[in-house]
Amino acid sequence: MEARFQPGDQVQVRKADVPGHLRTPWYIRGHRGEVERICGYFANPEELAFNRHGLPKRALYRVRFRQSEVWPDYAGPAADTIEIEIYEHWLEKA
């Protein structure tokens, strides 16, 4: 299995607004971040939620975002980050 992204790659979270069981929080959709690591490959939980097999497995990434990019009114240090685990199909090359 080959991961589409590598640590250090700049990515953007897809801004999808669809029904279903979604594992990507609303607040992070549309934001840009950097791949911190590849966490592994897992059956797609968005399919498992409907009792389907969820295969092929999807790469799961830990993506690092700048807090100040995520929250327009963020008052903390500029270097603060937030990390979120996001499946490959939610990410695009930034």
Report in angstroms how near the CB of residue 36 gets to other proteins at its nearest: 19
Buried b / exposed e along 53-83 (16+ C-beta atoms within 10 A) = ebeeebbbbbbebbebebeeeeeeeeeeebe
Binding residue for other proteins, selected from 8, 51, 76, 93, defined by CB under 8 A: 51
Report in angstroms how near the CB of residue 71 gets to other proteins at its nearest: 7
SS3 93: strand
Residues 55-94 that bind other proteins (CB under 8 A): 70-71
Tokens of 56: 């092929």
53 binds other proteins (CB under 8 A): no
- 68 vs 91: CA distance, rounded Å: 20
Which residue lies nearer to other proteins by CB, 38 or 43?
A: 43
Report in angstroms how near the CB of residue 23 gets to other proteins at its nearest: 9
- 42 vs 87: CA distance, rounded Å: 9
Report the interface residues with other proteins, using CB under 8 A: 17, 21-22, 25-27, 45-46, 48-51, 70-71
